[in-house]
Structure 1
Amino acid sequence: MKVLLMSHGTRGDVQPYVALACRLMAVGHDVTLMGPNSLWELARSAGVPYVPVVDGPLELLADPVVLRANEDCRGLRGAVRGMRWFRRNRPYYVKLLEDLIAKVQGLPRPDVVVFAPWVQAHHLAEWLKVPAVPVCLQPGWVPTPDFVNPLVPVPLPASLSGASYAYAEWLVRLLYGSSVTRLRRALLGLPNRARGPSILFRPDGRPATVLQAFDPGVLPGAPRYPPTTHTTGFWHLPITDEWSMPADLRSFLEAGDRPVYIGFGSMVVSRSVARSRAVLAAVRKAGVRAVIAADWGGAMASEQEQCRGSDDVFFADEAPHDRLFPHIAAIVHHGGAGTTASALRSGRPQVVCPFTFDQPFWARRMHALGLAPAPLPQNDLTADRLAAALRRAVGDGQLKESAEQFGLCSLTRDGVGRAVEVLESVVESS
């Protein structure tokens, strides 16, 4: 089976596809992954064949419009910010789709295309005349009557649960405008689709197979999804011996009580100095030791020199979560799907400080499951509030027990294995 994977975004968006590629290759399938040029090393280190495409929207991470939307897109004002974000990103996503089309034409024909919804690669699969399987890293794309779409930035009544899922498709249309129709005709020679550009349907209008790469146990209740939708569990990279823990980090971990981990991924903040100082003050107010990601979105750079050699704070360069988190007492993060998955698997309590998009949903779910204190949105983050959350995360026995139990359950779920089975079935029946 020849599988073409297409993803884009930050590390948390692309790493699940690297994990899937590793498993597909391990069972004998041919795989090519297309993703942003800036993440080529992530695939190379895992031995995954990689075709880089333009970074596109990643070039805008520090743009003022993008910054404001990322820091707060909840409520009506946030919804307006979100719409500005999509308009600002439109030319970059169109450029990305054009680059994907150009580079796919030089690749061997696959048996199936597996893609991220924002990439809109189902149009390429249609041109190639092969099945297209979208991958959802968070709920919000496939309708269910059982809870409101978590991507919607304003509160809605439960009676609108099913209808609220039209929001995700509307966002894609807002992002691309009429460009998809134009590119389908001009570059691919394709007519309009029977059910429009939706990722949830095949060209003939039948339901598409969809993979949801998250644990069904984190969702509210037991949501009902179409039989063509498969909620597999999170997709984790295989643990390898390629990364060796630096001696100074190991010495810090062994020098005292287990530290907390603090990192907000690739999220960029506009008030980075103030946020950095609040985080450091919270660590000291809470009386904990901390391993802090050395560069989350450009923040913390000014504080690293001041803390060099400190007994209570260590700034770590990039370290695999699956290797670091077992040495950690609690995990403070932004609520991205990838970091949430790693935190769940580690069996450690969490403090979730969400920015935007799906992050508030994961923050609420971690709290509802008894794995984290109440969410602490980035706009509400102060030294005192974060210190209080840290004290609870490291001192609440019930949080610790619940996190450990959930971690054990996570270890038994083979999300990538289930995804491979689904893809093999799709190709066999095509």
Structure 2
Amino acid sequence: MRVLILTHGTRGDVQPYVALALALHQAGHQPVLAAPAAMASLAEPYGLPFAPLHDGPNTLIDDPEIREAIETNYRGLRGKRVALQVMRRSKPLMARVLDDMAGAAEGGADLVVHAPGMPGQHFAEWLGVPAVPAALQPVWVPTGAFRNPMLPLPVPRALNRASYLPIKLMLRSFGGIADKLRAGRLGLPRRRGRHDILRRPDGRPATVLQAFSAHLLPAGLDYPAWVHTTGFWYLPAASGWSPPPELAAFLAGGDPPVYVGFGSMAGTDPARVGRVVAEAVRLAGVRAVLASGWGGMRIGDLPDTVFSLDQAPHDWLFPRMAAIVHHGGSGTTGAALAAGKPQVVCPFVADQPFWAARAHAAGVAPEPQPQRRLTAHGLAAAIRRAATDRTMARAAAETGERIRAEGGVHRAVELVEELL
């Protein structure tokens, strides 16, 4: 079976789909991963077929004004103005991304799996095959159990389902680009419901995969039967990967350290974040591994008790930590859960506050430490608790066992196979 996988975004948006492509390949299928050209290095170590896409809106991330607006959830009048600017500048970039996706689809497929933010249903319709939205966050399928995690304000429980409407409106904002592609390169007609990722062309519901764990969600879930919450999709370290000798020596040289990394969240002031983190680690009296990631922190001179690295496979590194401090992206949250280690979550925006709150509710993390209010003393206290609280350590270990038992990506492969 040839499976075309369409995704876009930064590392955290792409890596779970690499995990799916690898699992499909290992099951004897022929996956093709279409993702931003800058992310090719994620697929390369596994020998997976890769179709490079234009980097699209990713090219806007380094604009300081846009970065500030994104990381404050577009608060205030200035944020709303920048949001409109981002949307205006993103549209021609997205047109190039979709054109590249059409090129990838020309190779044919028996099935199209796509990130819900990418209108993969149009390419599946063109090919005459099923489209499977695969979500990394619980924001695409309405539920009465909790409000849309992307919504920064609380709403009455009775309005939980209605709070998912903005996501549908956001998808429609790029409808003109998709319609132009349909009418031109794809030669597809305008039809009712063509922009609804949750419906097939004949009106029946699409099979939806949710690449996270129901164990972390609130009680009272009411997802329909065609929505499958599989568990997180983990990408294992590439065969033959080994840690740098300096990292291995640091880990062997004392007590398990605390990991601190904020992934692709660049921060409007990475130097300030670096100073806060360095001081918090000192105040907490712990050894630490600091992952700078994609500009997440800028740190000067470090003591011998702190090791700095760009990145390392989470499935190798996290189990060797005493606790894990991160930004609350779904992928990092899932990796920390699977490692069975306590967490300190410092959310920036989007779904990150939701995962931070759920980790705290599960008893595997202290109260969230939002980055906009982050202080050295507050972070130090949270780190000390995460690294020493036996009750929290036990809860993290037990949760980790449940998370690992789900086998999320392998369950996803089974569901994809059932479709055909």
Same fold (TM over 0.5): yes
The question of 1:426 aligning with 2:390 is answered no
| C-alpha contact 2:237 2:313 (8 A) present in aligned 1 | no
Instruction: Verify the 8 A CA contact 2:175 2:195 in the aligned structure 1.
Output: no
How does 1:6-405 map onto structure 2 within 5 Å?
6-73=6-73, 80=80, 82=83, 84-105=85-106, 107=107, 109-174=108-173, 176-297=174-295, 299-300=297-298, 302-303=299-300, 306-307=301-302, 310-405=303-398
> Distance in 2 between the 1:71 and 1:20 partners?
29
Identical columns (%): 49
Given that 1:194 and 1:205 are in contact with CA atoms closer than 8 Å, whether structure 2 keeps it comes out as: no
Tell me, which stretches of 5 or more residues in structure 2 are unaligned? none
Partners of 1:424 and 1:343 lie apart in 2 by: 29
SS, match of residue 206 in structure 2? coil
**Alpha-carbon shift at residue 320 of structure 1 (Å):** 0.3
Once the two structures are TM-superposed, the CA of residue 240 in structure 1 deviates from its matched residue by: 4.7
Deviation per residue, 1:53-75 (Å, 9 max, x gap): 11111111121343123322176
Verify the 8 A CA contact 2:91 2:177 in the aligned structure 1.
no
Give the superposition deviation at 1:155: 1.7
Q: Give the C-alpha shift of residue 298 in structure 1.
A: 5.5
CA contact (8 A) 2:236 2:313 kept: no
| Structure 2 residue identity aligned to 1:273 | A
Q: Which amino acid aligns with 2:382?
A: A
TM-score by length of 1: 0.93
Task: Kindly indicate whether the alpha-carbon contact (under 8 Å) linking 2:55 and 2:97 is maintained by their aligned counterparts in 1.
Answer: yes
Q: Rate the CA distance shift 1:74–1:395 in 2: closer, same or farther, 3 A.
A: farther
Q: 1:230 and 1:367, CA in 2 relative to 1: closer, same or farther beyond 3 A?
A: same
Against the structure 1 CA distance between its residues 200 and 94, is the aligned structure 2 distance closer, same or farther, given a 3 Å change threshold?
A: same
Asked if the contact 2:263–2:292 (Cα under 8 Å) also holds between the matched residues in 1, the reply is no
Q: Given that residues 111 and 131 in structure 2 are in contact (C-alpha distance below 8 angstroms), is that contact kept between their aligned partners in structure 1?
A: yes
Q: CA RMSD in A?
A: 1.7
Question: SS at 2:21's partner residue?
Answer: helix
Amino acid of the structure 2 residue aligned with 1:98: D
* Number of equivalent positions: 419
Q: CA 1:28–1:102 in structure 2 vs 1: closer, same or farther (change >3 Å)?
A: closer
How far 1:91 sits from its partner (Å)? 2.5
Q: What whole-Å deviation, never above 9, does each CA across 1:288-324 have from its counterpart, x for those lacking one?
A: 1110003442532x51xx22xx321100132101001
* Alpha-carbon offset, residue 76 of structure 1: 6.5
CA contact (8 A) 2:292 2:308 kept: yes
CA 1:224–1:57: 2 relative to 1, 3 Å: same
**Cα offsets for 1:73-113 (capped at 9, x unmatched):** 176769736555444433322221122123422x1x21100
Cα distance change on mapping 1:364 and 1:84 into 2, 3 Å: farther
Contact 2:236 2:315 in 1 (8 A): no
- Tell whether the 8 Å contact from 1:8 to 1:14 is kept in structure 2 after alignment: yes
Give per-residue Cα distances to partners, 1:157-190, cap 9 Å, x unaligned: 111111111221111223x152222221122111
2:410 counterpart residue number: 417
The code of the aligned residue for 2:292 comes to A
Give distance in 1, aligned partners of 2:65 and 2:91. 13
CA distance in 2, matches of 1:128, 1:172: 22
C-alpha displacement of 1:338: 0.7
Query: 8 Å contact 1:78–1:153 — kept in the other structure?
Result: no
How far, CA to CA, are the matches of 1:40 and 1:283 in structure 2? 34
My pick for the range that moved more, 240-249 or 351-360, is 240-249
| TM-score normalised by L of structure 2 | 0.95
For structure 1, the residue ranges without an aligned partner over 5 or more in a row are none
Distance, in Å, in 2 between the alignment partners of 1:12 and 1:359 is: 12
Distance 1:119 1:52, change over 3 A: same
Q: Secondary structure at the match of 2:117?
A: helix
Q: Residue 194 of structure 1: CA displacement? A: 2.5
Q: Is the 8 A contact 2:344 2:369 kept in 1?
A: yes
Output the amino acid matched with 1:63: D
SS in 2 for 1:117: coil
The 3 A distance-change label for structure 1 pair 103 and 240 is closer
Q: Separation in 1 of the partners of 2:236 and 2:109?
A: 24
Q: How far did 1:198 drift?
A: 1.2
What amino acid does structure 2 have at the position aligned with 1:336?
Answer: G
CA contact (8 A) 2:328 2:356 kept: yes
Task: Judge which range, 50-59 or 85-94, deviates more.
Answer: 85-94
Moved more, 353-362 or 81-90: 81-90
Amino acid at match of 1:22: L
Q: CA deviation at 1:403?
A: 0.4
Query: Which letter does structure 2 place at the counterpart of 1:331?
Result: I
Does the 8 A contact of 1:72 with 1:78 survive in 2?
A: no
Provide the C-alpha distance between the structure 2 equivalents of 1:142 and 1:314, rounded to a whole number of angstroms.
41
Cα deviation per residue 1:104-138 (whole Å; 9 max; x = unaligned)? 22x1x211000011221111111111110010001
Amino acid at match of 1:392: R
